[in-house]
Structure 1
Amino acid sequence: MYKVMIIDDEKSLRDLLKITIDWKRFGLECCGEASSGIEAINVIDDLKPDIVFVDIKMPFMDGIEFSQIAIKQYPHIKIIILTAMNEFEYARKCVGIGVREYLTKPMVREDVNNTLERIIQELDERQPEPESESDIIDRLSASSSSMNKICEYIRKNYNNSELNLTYAAHKFNFNTSYLSRRFKEDTGMSFIDYLTKCRMERALELAAKQVQMYLTAKEVGIPDPNYFSKCFKKYTGKSYTEVIKELHG
């Protein structure tokens, strides 16, 4: 079963696409959704989608920028760009960066299903790549000091909006799956939870100084204020405004 992720800053369009796709017919599952490219990049390592629908026009990180980063990290991912008619020529340029398909809005069920048929056929024909045993053996000898270095790197670079599990794996020459498992074993936290912790601790410091939320979001590496707000409330249990009020009466 292939996993599908939907990225669009309008919830109504995300919901419409979920209704439009014939999930049962194709044996697909919706593994998650995001309201911005920034949010998607932060969760894609955990979701591991095979197919991604992404809107071409979004704030902070548009569909093209997201696609460039995602394809670099996951060369076999299949990306379908969603675009309005007046953006059609712009969308065609996406094919040059590795985007597989594009669909125009308003979406037509038949077009969506025909596109998915082509994508699924490509995925079915793809030959699985054997995992390199020598890489796994090499990584098994890595000491906890390696994880300490990665933690230190996160603490110093949490404000990099592109920082995620895959980015760190490439930086430190680790297999992504191995790093994910080893990081949690050594720290007791997942990579994304540790990164979020570093970002939110800094966000609390800035809230104490009454820094505006959009500035804090950018400062901690989450330039999308909506996604920052979700992360902050999940971490603290309160909104950014509520925390400022509590700290300053």
Structure 2
Amino acid sequence: MYRVMIIDDEMSARKLLQASIDWQALNMEVVGEAASGIEAINIIDDLRPDIVFADISMPFMNGIEFTRVATERYKNLIIVILTGLDDFEYARQCVRLPVVEYMLKPFVRQEVTEVLTKIKEKLDKQTNRTQEVGRDITPSDIEQILQYLRDNFTDSSINLTSVAQRFGFNPSYFSRKFKQETGKSFVEFLISCRMELAIKLAKTSKKMFCTANEVGIPDPNYFGRCFKKYTGISYSEFVSSNASK
């Protein structure tokens, strides 16, 4: 099945798109969603989508910015831009990017199905989608990569694919070897680096949006979810508990 990701800061829009299309009939499945381009860039390597629906108007990283970053890193990724803004300039910017469709919201189910049918035909024709593994990754390579991440994890544009490309490895192979050698997935290691710094900054009572920016997750909503998952409590609760000590 072809894998689909939906990126929209409106939860209702994400749920509507997910529920209104007969994905199975198209040999597709929705494997995940994100509320911003920043969040999407952080989780896209785990989801490995073939198709992305991206809202053009989102905070912190809009659909155009996401498309620029994503299509540079993921050459075969197919992106459908969704927008409620009938704005020529936005459309003009999208035309210069490798975007399959530009669809106005609220979308019409039949129109989306027709677009997906065309995309499916295109994907079906791509019979040879294999990538060469390239040279083996050694423990020494992994140590260099770990040090690179420790030195650069505050860069919000870093993710698995960008690091794999930097060191000359196939992303899928790199992902498997990274977990094999470290015991953690790439995302888990990157988040742990960011959250350890976030904890130090939280102990100084720094505002959450400032901490989020400093650790490389400028989307405060996504940062908040990461922090709570890592520490077990919200950022504000952590700050309050340390202020009382």
Same fold (TM over 0.5): yes
What CA RMSD, in Å, does the superposition of the two structures yield over aligned residues? Answer: 1.2
Q: Aligned to 1:3, what secondary structure does the other structure show?
A: strand
Q: How many residues align?
A: 244
Task: Determine the structure 2 residue equivalent to 1:147.
Answer: 142
Q: Give the partner amino acid of 2:173.
A: Y
Confirm whether residue 160 of structure 1 aligns to residue 155 of structure 2. Answer: yes
Confirm whether residue 234 of structure 1 aligns to residue 229 of structure 2. Answer: yes
Contact 2:132 2:170 in 1 (8 A): no
> C-alpha deviations, 1:19-42, integer Å up to 9, x for none?
221112212111000000000000
Contact 2:81 2:99 in 1 (8 A): yes
Partners of 1:131 and 1:61 lie apart in 2 by 29
Contact 2:131 2:170 in 1 (8 A): no
> C-alpha deviations, 1:126-165, integer Å up to 9, x for none?
13134336x1xx21xx421211111111111111111010
Contact 1:169 1:179 in 2 (8 A): yes
> C-alpha deviations, 1:165-208, integer Å up to 9, x for none?
00110111111112111111111100100000000000000000
Confirm whether residue 248 of structure 1 aligns to residue 240 of structure 2. Answer: no
Q: Give the partner amino acid of 1:109.
A: R
Task: Determine the structure 2 residue equivalent to 1:107.
Answer: 107
Task: Determine the structure 2 residue equivalent to 1:95.
Answer: 95
Higher helix share: 1
For 1:79-90, list aligned pairs within 5 A.
79-90=79-90
Q: Aligned to 1:97, what secondary structure does the other structure show?
A: coil
Task: Determine the structure 2 residue equivalent to 1:175.
Answer: 170
Q: Give the partner amino acid of 2:185.
A: S
For 1:119-134, list aligned pairs within 5 A.
119-132=119-132
Q: Aligned to 2:96, what secondary structure does the other structure show?
A: helix
Q: Aligned to 2:158, what secondary structure does the other structure show?
A: coil
> C-alpha deviations, 1:27-80, integer Å up to 9, x for none?
211100000000000011110101100000101100011011111111111100
Partners of 1:204 and 1:21 lie apart in 2 by 42
Confirm whether residue 25 of structure 1 aligns to residue 15 of structure 2. Answer: no
Say if 1:57 and 1:29 are closer, same or farther in 2 by CA, change over 3 A. Answer: same
Task: Determine the structure 1 residue equivalent to 2:65.
Answer: 65
Unaligned runs of 5+ in 2: none
Runs of 4 or more consecutive aligned structure 1 residues displaced over 4 Å after TM superposition? none
Task: Determine the structure 2 residue equivalent to 1:14.
Answer: 14
Say if 1:130 and 1:11 are closer, same or farther in 2 by CA, change over 3 A. Answer: closer
Unaligned runs of 5+ in 1: none
Q: Give the partner amino acid of 2:95.
A: V
Partners of 2:241 and 2:216 lie apart in 1 by 24
Say if 1:219 and 1:178 are closer, same or farther in 2 by CA, change over 3 A. Answer: same
Q: Give the partner amino acid of 2:145.
A: I
For 1:193-204, list aligned pairs within 5 A.
193-204=188-199
